[in-house]
Amino acid sequence: MSDFELQVDWVDQEGRNQSDATLASLLIQVGGVAVTEFTARHMNKFGGPLRNKCKAVQIPAYFVAEWIADNWWSILWEPRKNEEEADDDEFLSRHSLLTAQHGFSLPRLEFVASGGTLQISARARDPKFSDVRFCNSARATAPREKVESELRRFVQSVVDRLNDRRVSETWLQDTWSLITETKDDELSFCRFIGALGMSPYDIDDGFAKLIERLEVALGERLLMDLCLASSESDFASVSKVAEEAVALTRTVEKSTLSPIEAISVPQDNYAVPAFRRGLQAAEILRKRLGISDTDPNAASRIFDMLEIDTTLQTKSVQRNDDVAVTGAVVRFENEMKVALLQQTEAKRRFAAARAVFSAWSSETPTESRLLTSAVTRDQQANRAFAAELTAPKALIRSRFRGKKRKFTQSDIRELADELRVSPDVVRKQASNNGVTISFG
């Protein structure tokens, strides 16, 4: 079973325009489920409903290929920027196949990058003013390389079809040439721009120069972290925070990974949500270090082992503690340097725990990462790790056990003060783990 397949079966039709030339039966499968499957509502000879089920839709494939090419770099590289805000219309225009309808009915199918993977989701849909109903919902997480290969194969087949039918000089053909002729030394720039939700073919010189300067100042890995967490509108301001975080890593005291570097980090399993990896990692770390999951000082003990001081407040520009970038970590073999930008110790402790996971789970022994709000699998995992390390669910349950009432806001603030974390961390940990909370 493939995570994602896009199959096209051409239908011969007279005509020399792009629609006639690319009329096709289109079958899209997500996790083995045909999300293009629809029920056609007609009337039988007795006046009753007649429902015919079909797995593929017949449409001009041109418009789907055009949408993919138009949003190529964003489809493959742009994640959601945080977990709190709903998708706006501009984001959906880049990631929802509904944008490609052009008067034809298509399934509600979305592609959203999440680091090295794409989240592909489809929901059953009953389009207005249409006699079809899309029957199936499905979700899959697939490596970006596999999705890119399938999308590339499809778009190329549409371009080849246009060429075979002697249809030329279309927007799709021109744009696809730009994409397929991208040189190796241009790839990084295109990916940065795509991660920001922009097109590399529509960038002004000032923005391009800023990207080029930051690639030199931050390096490719950190600049990608920055782009994954930013949008066109806030990139300039967030980049200043990122530069400050990186500069701070050069002056802070060294911390150590020696006590934990021999402990294996759980591998990322695309079949389960990313947060499970972070949760499992925190549980493994405590167990291997002999720390109880109900110890309120667990995080402090680990910070002490790793020589991370969360009490120090940096002399940084005053800002909201909830900006897209909250710190950075640089690992070099068994040493690391952790930059914590937030003004309150409670939030610095959470960021420090995120930094521990990022350094401990790094793909190479020498790696630098930003701590961001991006909804990518690695950032989601480090947030889940930090939540479990600083506010263990077993501890929260033990404090709630035996109470005849709900966990009150006062209870949450009291426990947060004891753990030296934000009440929001305790609140979310409690809510996510079956503890009933009173919001009165």
| Contacts of the segment 430-438: beta carbons below 8 A, 24+ positions apart | 430/396, 430/400, 432/393, 433/393, 433/396, 433/397, 434/397, 435/396, 435/397, 435/400, 435/407, 436/406, 436/407, 437/406, 437/407, 437/408, 437/409, 437/412, 438/405, 438/406, 438/407, 438/408, 438/409
Question: Which three-class secondary structure string do you get for 16-60?
Answer: CCHHHHCEEEEEEEECCEECCCEEEEEECCCCCEEEEEECCEEEE
Closest CA to 124 of 21, 207, 36: 36
pLDDT reported for residue 440: 61
Tokens, residue 310: 């969360």
pLDDT reported for residue 2: 76
Answer whether 73's CB lies under 8 Å from 197's CB: no
Answer whether 325's CB lies under 8 Å from 226's CB: yes
Check residue 5 and report its DSSP letter. E
Q: What span, in angstroms and rounded, lies between the C-alpha atoms of 400 and 311?
A: 29
HSE, side-chain direction, 13 A CA sphere, residue 197: 23
Q: What span, in angstroms and rounded, lies between the C-alpha atoms of 313 and 309?
A: 10
pLDDT reported for residue 14: 85
Residues in the chain where the model's pLDDT stays below 50: 43, 45-47
* Cross-strand bridge partners of residue 5: 29
The string of pLDDT tens digits covering residues 102-124 is 999 999 999 999 999 999 999 99
Q: What SS3 class is residue 139?
A: strand
Answer whether 152's CB lies under 8 Å from 145's CB: no
Burial 327-362 (b: 16+ CB within 10 A, else e): bbbbbeeeebbbbbbbeebbbbbbbbbbbbbbbbbb
For residue 114, what are the contacts with CB-CB under 8 A and spacing of at least 6? 79, 141, 274, 375, 376, 377, 380
41 CB burial (10 A radius; 0-12, 13-18, 19+): middle
Q: What SS3 class is residue 173?
A: helix
pLDDT reported for residue 235: 97
pLDDT reported for residue 40: 81
Q: What span, in angstroms and rounded, lies between the C-alpha atoms of 37 and 345?
A: 53
For residue 132, what are the contacts with CB-CB under 8 A and spacing of at least 6? 38, 39, 40, 41, 57, 105
Residue type at position 399: R
Closest CA to 298 of 369, 378, 371, 396: 396
